[in-house]
A = this chain, B = another copy of it.
Amino acid sequence: MAEVKRVGMLTGGGDAPGLNGVIRAVTMRCISEYGYEVVGLRRGWKALTAPEEDTLMPLGVEDVRYILQEGGTVLGSSRTNPYKNEGDAEKVVEQLREFGIDALVAIGGDDTLGVARRLHDDFGVQVIGCPKTIDNDLSATDTTFGYDTAVAIATDAIDRLRTTAKSHERILVVEIMGRHAGWITYGAGLASSANVTLIPEVEPDLDEVTAIFKKRAENGERWGLVAVSEGVTFSEDFVTQTAEKDEFGHVRLGGVAEGLAAELKERTGIDTRHVVLGHLQRGGTPTANDRILSTRYGYRAAEAVANGEWGKMVALRGDEIVTVSLAEATDETKTVPKETYEMLRSFFG
Contact = CB atoms under 8 A, between A and B. Distances in A.
A246 interface: yes
Contacts of A289: 148, 151-152, 191, 287, 289
Interface residues of A, number: 81
Given A15-B164, A68-B191, A343-B299, A280 B275 contact: yes
A232 to B, nearest CB: 14
Nearest to A296: B343
Contacts of A291: 155, 190-191
Contacts of A73: 167
Nearest to A77: B167
A216 to B, nearest CB: 10
Interface in A37-72: 43, 54, 61-62, 65-66, 68-72
A188 interface: yes
A117 interface: no
A155 B285 CA distance: 12
Nearest to A347: B28
A173 to B, nearest CB: 10
A68, A71, A283: most-surrounded residue (chain B CB, <10 A): A283
A25 B347 contact: yes
10 contacts: A69-B193, A72-B162, A76-B168, A151-B288, A159-B284, A161-B280, A164-B282, A190-B295, A192-B288, A250-B254
A172 interface: yes
A279 interface: yes
Interface of A: 11, 14-15, 19, 25, 28-29, 32-33, 43, 54, 61-62, 65-66, 68-73, 76-77, 142, 148, 151-153, 155-157, 159-164, 166-169, 172, 187-188, 190-193, 219-220, 246, 248, 250-254, 273-276, 278-280, 282-284, 287-289, 291-292, 295-296, 299, 318-319, 343, 346-347, 349
Given A29-B346, A167-B15, A299-B346, A161 B283 contact: yes
A132 to B, nearest CB: 12
Contacts of A33: 346
B292 A191 contact: yes
A344 B70 CA distance: 19
B250 A163 contact: no
A278 to B, nearest CB: 5
Contacts of A43: 169
Contacts of A346: 28-29, 32-33, 299
Given A155-B288, A246-B254, 16 more contacts: A15-B163, A15-B167, A19-B167, A25-B347, A28-B346, A71-B160, A72-B163, A148-B289, A152-B288, A152-B289, A153-B160, A164-B283, A187-B288, A251-B253, A275-B278, A295-B347
B168 A15 contact: yes
Contact of A77 (B168, B172, B188, B276): B168
Interface centre among A219, A279, A288, A291 (most CB of B within 10 A): A288
